[in-house]
Amino acid sequence: MKLSDYKMLTFDTYGTLIDWESGIHDGLGPLLDKLPLKLSRDEVLELFAECEMRQQAEHPQQVYSSLLADVGRAMATKWQLKLSDEEAQSFGRSVKHWPEFADSAESLKYLRQHYLMATVTNCDRISYMGSNARLEIEWDGIYTAQDIGCYKPNLRNFHYMFERARRDLGVLPHEILHVAQSLTHDMVPATQMGMSKVWINRRYNVEGMGATAPPQGDYTIEWEFNSMADFVAAHREEVA
């Protein structure tokens, strides 16, 4: 099996192409400033992961910008702090400010020459517009949690993606290679769906799971790279 055997790449965006951990931590700045004791970045991100997974499971149809605001409120409650509505809503709207990884746009530009490309993302349509502008790509499909009515790792997200790829692009499931950073949101459900996968292990030199909750379930990984640039380099070498 080779990287070039596939007709289409599907991507997770946040954590894979957008540096959501930096975006989350920066967006929580007003709340973190109220903490009497300074916490490490990963301590903050781990609480975020816990609160986000709970909120997504309990409110699967909530638009992500609103859900993110409620995650901020839940974190404030956990720390026994007060977060104003404006501060919570500002955090909810912060996705458009989350930075892209330095290699994302150029890597997508290269891969676009070889594959159909789509993203299946736990974001809402409006928030994603800001991220898409940073990535400088015209996707063949953007499949958001808002469109689907639930969040990954729910398998409905992948069934929806399969159906849209088949209907709109003429691509069958076995012709799709899924590219993502999150073991929890992507590797586990994509394994359950029988997909081939590329793990972009952005945290390869950092311990812990960061802003992603630990995976619940088994998974396989067909390819692992530490960055999108490494993925592109492997593809270049293969097709040379």
Judged by phi (left if over 0) then psi (alpha if -120 to 50, else beta), residue 170 lies in left
End-of-domain residue from the set 97, 121, 148:
97
Structure tokens at 215: 């995976």
Within this chain, do residues 45 and 119 fall inside the same structural domain, yes or no? no
Let me know: does 120 contact 161? Beta carbons within 8 Å.
yes
- Indicate whether 114 and 201 sit together in one domain: yes
12 is catalytic: yes
Report d(CA 38, CA 156) in Å as an integer: 39
Domain total of the chain: 2
User: In this structure, are residues 45 and 127 in contact, taking their beta carbons and an 8 Å threshold?
Assistant: no
Domain enclosing residue 36, as ranges: 23-97
pLDDT along the chain (240 residues), means of 10: 96 98 98 95 98 98 98 98 97 98 98 98 98 97 98 98 98 98 98 98 96 96 98 97
Domain boundary (65, 97, 129) is at 97
pTM score, whole prediction: 0.96
Q: Are 186 and 113 found together in one domain?
A: yes
User: Residue 68: which H helix or E strand, with range?
Assistant: helix 64-78
pLDDT of amino acid 1: 87
Catalytic position from the list 12, 19, 42, 140: 12
pLDDT at 94: 98
Spatial distance between the Cα atoms of 77 and 83, rounded to a whole number of angstroms: 8
Q: What does the CA dihedral 43, 44, 47, 51 come to, rounded to 10 degrees?
A: -170
What kind and span of H or E run contains 158?
helix 156-169
Q: What is the predicted pLDDT for the residue at 184?
A: 98
141 and 47 together in one domain: no
- Backbone φ and ψ of 170, nearest 5°: 70, 25
